[in-house]
Amino acid sequence: MSGNIAIVLEEGLVAMIVGMTVVFSFLIIMIFSMSIMSKIVLWLNKIFPEQIAETAKKVKKAVTGGEEEVAVAVAAALHKK
């Protein structure tokens, strides 16, 4: 019975090592491929730069006479309370 447990534990250990090796290898390959793709994108950005859209500057509206009078009336009404 104990020999059977040793065999099962050995097979489990081998499966664990194989699985961890596969995952580690995949992660290393992914890191290198992402690094290479980053360098390729930087190189392509130098060849084909993005056009930066110019945004129109917002112009502040001047307060008209009517709005100013309303603001003064509201301030006076609030001050009286």
pLDDT 10s digits, 7-33: 999 999 999 999 999 999 999 999 999
pLDDT of 53 strictly over 70: yes
Per the prediction, the chain carries an average pLDDT of 87
pLDDT at 19: 98
The angle at the Cα of 15, spanning 10 to 21, to the nearest 5 degrees, equals: 125
pLDDT of 64 strictly over 70: no
The conformation of residue 56, written as its DSSP 8-state character, comes to: P
Q: Return all residues near 63 (Cβ < 8 A) that are at least 6 apart.
A: 71
pLDDT of 78 strictly over 90: no
Both ends of the chain: CA-CA distance in Å? 94
pLDDT range class, residue 81, cuts 50, 70, 90: low
pLDDT at 57: 74
